[in-house]
Amino acid sequence: MNQDKTIQFVNTKAIIIGMALLFIALQIGFHPTYLQHFPGFEKFNWLHHTHGAIMVSWMFILVIQPYLIHKRKYAVHRLIGKISYVIAPLMLISMFLVTRLNYLTTVGKIDFKDVAYIQALNFIEPLSFFTFYVLAVINKNDVSKHKRYMIATSFPMIMAIFSRILHNRFGTTIEPYEYFIPLYFCSLISILLLVNDILRKNNPIPSIIITAVILLNTLIFHARYTEVWQAIVRLVGDTIF
């Protein structure tokens, strides 16, 4: 029993540290292209500001929730959980609107194959976030599953932050690895978490689902120049955007 409590304490502490580091990485990744333009923000509109604020809010939730559990502040944890019912849909809407804006500002101005290339991640990340969050809510009474799916909601942001940091550091010279590296990194993390669950004889289903979604994301990016993917992007653009 004591060993189980020790493992749970270590896991919770690791989650807190990991999410806090991700929050710091968010500031580093978006400083050159967004934060440094404060307070003028001449090149940005309300959508960029709203999307940024919602993303920061979600990162705050991911940092504070495991901390509240660690401190046994269950009432506050449940309250913030209810607040997430508002933040998560707003997050999804803002991701959709940013993707739509990105699509509309590129289509007709560059080759469509390059438009489809850009959207290979933009289309899938909101769906990944939605999938993980819905599963977290459905399993809110199963701590083990809920925790894993909530952690997984950070993966789309890890990819965005990591690719932004790589682009800021290396520019176009690293293309397309600025996207491949974050995808492979998140794939590796999810696989390691799956292996850990199997070795500890935890229920592996959540980790299997998370890994499958991330690997699907990676597969789609590999297929970014295929006619099938370009047809999907064109269909979405014509019917939804």
At 207-221, the pLDDT tens digits run 999 999 999 999 999
pLDDT attached to residue 10: 43
* DSSP letter assigned to residue 12: H
Residue with tokens 């809110």: 140
Question: Percent of the chain scored above 70 by pLDDT?
Answer: 86
> Contact at 8 Å (CB) between 116 and 229?
yes
> Contact at 8 Å (CB) between 141 and 135?
no
Coil, strand, or helix at residue 226?
coil
Close Cβ partners of 155 (under 8 Å, ≥ 6 residues apart): 128, 132, 186, 189, 190, 210, 214
> Contact at 8 Å (CB) between 115 and 99?
no
Neighbours of 89 (CB within 10 A): 13
Q: What pLDDT digit, counting tens, does each position of 31-85 carry?
A: 666 666 566 666 767 777 788 889 889 988 988 888 888 888 889 999 999 999 9
* pTM for the whole structure: 0.83
Q: Phi and psi for 69 in degrees, rounded to 5?
A: -65, -40
Indicate if the alpha-carbon torsion angle 156, 212, 112, 169 is positive or negative: positive
Q: What pLDDT digit, counting tens, does each position of 134-158 carry?
A: 999 999 999 899 999 999 999 988 8
Confidence of residue 20 (pLDDT cuts 50, 70, 90): confident
